[in-house]
Amino acid sequence: NDLFSRGEPHDPTGVELASLEELYGLMADGEPPGPGVGRFVPGEGPAGAPILFVGEQPGDQEDVQGKPFVGPAGQLLDRALSDAGVPRGEAYVTNAVKRFHFTQRGKRRIHEKPSTSEIRKERWWLEKEIRLVGPRVVVALGATAVLALAGKPLPVTKARGPIRWPDERDGYVTVHPSYLLRLQDAGERRVAYEAFVGDLQRIGELAR
Ligand code: URA
């Protein structure tokens, strides 16, 4: 189940990628949207941002707007960053998989988890993206990002906290903001939110 042990996907471009624009341009050309697959949503934020957040994949709103973390989960992340005292300008946000995967039910589009093979296919690109942004800390938000960055599944509850990724970069594992949105009990949600803000404070310190 180790994404690394099955060998590195070879460079699908054959060219040296000099910028994020170039990287995203090539990625967007790669696999066109189709039934159940949305448009290409690039990462967003200042190149050179000290913190890079990796989510799972764009959601419905992200697919509509073409920007990562603009829907409910993104709004929660923004609020938590603000509560943690981490300036939004210090954060670059992106996703392990760059297209929304869904099942159409009438007018509704139901989120589908990206498959391991989709995550694996995009790993090469994610690594390039991280190198081009050049953050001090790479944060996995939830299990899909952990799988993409660690190359193997790790339980988020056990891995939560600082981590060193296989590429030797400093990292941090925390929950996905969608997890907080799914908690039904208000008290439970408040406690989980405080813990999330605590993680973001530690991430802010690591990035300084
Ligand atoms: N959830 C994610 O993982 N990424 C987004 O961009 C939005 C929601």
**pLDDT the model gives residue 2:** 60
Please answer whether residues 192 and 183 qualify as being in contact, where contact means their C-beta atoms are separated by less than 8 angstroms: yes
pLDDT at 167 over 80: yes
Average pLDDT over residues 139-163: 97
pLDDT for position 10:
54
Atom of ligand 1 nearest to the CA of 178: 1
Report percent pLDDT > 90 for the chain: 86
Give the per-residue pLDDT at 12. Answer: 63
Domains in the chain with CATH codes:
20-206 (3.40.470.10)
- pLDDT (0 to 100) of residue 18: 87
pLDDT tens digits, 92-141 = 999 999 999 999 999 999 999 999 999 998 999 999 999 999 999 999 99
Amino acid letter for position 202: R
If you write DSSP's letter for every residue of 31-43 in order, what string do you get?
S--BTTEEEE---
Average pLDDT, stretch 162-168? 96
Q: What is the mean pLDDT of the chain?
A: 93
* Distance, CA of 42 to CA of 75 (rounded, Å): 18
Q: Which atom of ligand 1 is nearest to the CA of 68?
A: 6
Confidence class for position 16, pLDDT limits 50, 70, 90 = confident
Instruction: Give the C-alpha separation, 12 to 134, whole Å.
Output: 22
Tokens coding 32: 């066109």
Name the DSSP class of 130: H
Write out residues with Cβ below 6 Å of ligand 1: 55-59, 62, 68-69, 71, 73-74, 95, 178
φ/ψ of residue 27, rounded to 5: -65, -45
**What angle is formed at CA 183 by the lines to CA 178 and CA 185, rounded to 5 degrees?**
155
Instruction: Quote the ligand 1 centre to 8 CA distance (angstroms).
Output: 26
Comparing 30 with 49, the larger pLDDT belongs to: 49
pLDDT at 13: 63
Residue with token string 């300036």? 87
Query: Would you say 85 and 204 are in contact if contact means Cβ atoms under 8 Å apart?
Result: yes
Atom of ligand 1 nearest to the CA of 67: 6
Pairing of strands 99-105, 37-40: antiparallel
Task: Give me the amino acid identity at 89.
Answer: G
Measure the CA–CA gap between 97 and 147, rounded to whole angstroms.
11
pTM: 0.94
Residues 55/119, Cβ–Cβ less than 8 Å = no
Q: CA–CA separation, 31 vs 10, rounded Å? A: 17
